[in-house]
Amino acid sequence: MYPHTLRWSNFHLTLGPRTAIMGIVNVTPDSFSDGGRFYGVDAAEVQAQQLIAAGADIIDIGGESTRPFAEQVPAQAEIDRVVPVIERLAATFPIPVSIDTTKAEVAEAALAAGAAMINDISALTMDPRMAETAARWGVPVILMHMKGSPRTMQINPHYDDLMAEIIAYLKSAMAQATAAGIPKTHLIIDPGIGFGKTISHNLKIIQQLGRLSELEAPILIGPSRKAFIRKLLASGADAALTVDRPEVETGTQAALAMAIINGAHIVRVHDVANTKAMVTIVDAIRTS
């Protein structure tokens, strides 16, 4: 695994010898993973505190569901959901808070509230102002591959050459980001597990994740509780297991472990405590 170092503002992340953990806090009423359990400032803050105590290196705050077939929400509604949470966390905890959004207006408000990273599932393509916003604030940006949009991405996704197409997309996104003034050393890439991918596509991405190393950027991956895991583990008449089944977390940890072995630098997860235990052992084996 190629090592990378992220330095910005008051933060410093060394990636490679130790896998970083990004904990997810969805401040939404309709997330696939937690069904609105943290929809509210107090509930979201408590969840974030628990993830940080369990070992999260980054907290990712999202105010709009990106599950398949999800509808967009207005920017102001998204701001109203995330900004109060970010203000509390940024003032209390010394780790970076990431804003998960495709809207520059939301990113601007979140960064002003104390967020220190942008996680954009559209790789800066859905809002032409996003790249300028990220460059002006000088924060790291996660560029994710997605085929289509959340409303369309799971309608018969097809690739002629899966990994080559993902690499080409991310290479182009990185070039556009640097042209807008974002330093290459501030870019993180994400192959987009579950975003316009079949079960077979997701498995191949994890298996061949090391091919993304040619882009010379830290690799983030987020298979946590995704449908492909739930479907692979389902039996009988079940189309997929519910996200709260314990075997879904076991499946998630297996996918994460393989991703780390194959080159992931950052893992984005719901269950930080279990992930921390897995990462500790896998990293120890990798670096022994």
Give the 3-state DSSP-derived string for the chain, with helices as H, strands as E and coil as C: CCCEEEEECCEEEEECCCCEEEEEEECCCCCCCCCCCCCCHHHHHHHHHHHHHHCCCEEEEECCCCCCCCCCCCHHHHHHHHHHHHHHHHHHCCCCEEEECCCHHHHHHHHHHCCCEEEECCCCCCCCCHHHHHHHHCCCEEEECCCCCCCCCCCCCCCCCHHHHHHHHHHHHHHHHHHCCCCHHHEEEECCCCCCCCHHHHHHHHHCHHHHHHHCCCEEECCCCCHHHHHHHCCCCCCCCCCCCHHHHHHHHHHHHHHHHCCCCEEEECCHHHHHHHHHHHHHHHCC
Number of domains present in the structure of the chain = 1
Across the chain, mean pLDDT equals: 92
* Residue 42: inside a domain: yes
* Residue 109: inside a domain: yes
Share of residues in the chain with pLDDT > 70 (%): 92
286 tagged catalytic: no
Q: pLDDT per residue over 232-286, tens digit each?
A: 999 765 677 888 899 999 999 999 999 999 999 999 999 999 999 999 999 999 9
147 tagged catalytic: no
Share of residues in the chain with pLDDT > 90 (%): 82
24-33, 123-132, 228-237: segment of lowest average pLDDT: 24-33
Instruction: Name the active-site residue from 88, 197, 225, 268.
Output: 268
* Residue 3: inside a domain: no
* Residue 2: inside a domain: no
pLDDT band at 43 (very low <50, low <70, confident <90, very high): confident
Whole domain around residue 83: which residue ranges?
A: 10-286
**pLDDT surpasses 70 at 69:** no
Region 173-195: what's the mean pLDDT?
Answer: 97
CATH number at residue 23: 3.20.20.20
* Residue 273: inside a domain: yes
* Residue 1: inside a domain: no
* Residue 154: inside a domain: yes
* Residue 5: inside a domain: no
Instruction: Name the active-site residue from 81, 88, 147, 226.
Output: 226
Residue 151's pLDDT is what? 66
**pLDDT surpasses 60 at 229:** yes
pLDDT band at 42 (very low <50, low <70, confident <90, very high): confident
